[in-house]
Amino acid sequence: MRRITGYALVGFFAALIGAGLALDEFRTVLANAITICLSCIGIG
């Protein structure tokens, strides 16, 4: 039962990644990651 739950979760989260990529979230993550966010590191 636990193993089935594990596989179901793998499928669910793989689908979430797919949905996120379809919504162009990779580009958004990349845009945030290549910008120095001063407030994020406690500056400003």
Partner 1 sequence: MPHLGRRRWAQIVSAVALNLYVPALFTGSIVQARSKGVCVPVLNCYSCPSAVAACPIGSLQHAFASIRFRISAGELQLGLYALGAVGLVAAFVGRFPCGWFCPFGLFQELVNKIPSRKFRIPRGLNYLKYVLLALTVFVLPALVLDAAGYGDTWFCKWICPAGTLEAGLPLVAANSGVRSQIGLLFVWKVVLLLLFLAWMVVSMRPFCRTICPLGALLGLFNRVSLLRLTVDSVRCTSCEKCDSVCPMELDVRRESNSVECIRCLKCVKSCEAGCIGYEHPLVRRDAPQHR
DSSP letter at 42 equals T
Total chain residues near partner 1 (CB under 8 A): 37
**Closest of 25, 9, 6, 27 to residue 17, by C-alpha:** 25
Q: How many angstroms separate the CA atoms of 27 and 12, rounded?
A: 22
Please report how close the Cβ of residue 1 comes to partner 1 at its closest, in angstroms.
9
Binding mask 16-35 for partner 1 (x = CB under 8 A): xxxxxx-xxxxxxxx-xxx-
**Contact set with partner 1 (CB under 8 A):** 2-3, 5-7, 9-10, 12-21, 23-30, 32-34, 36-44
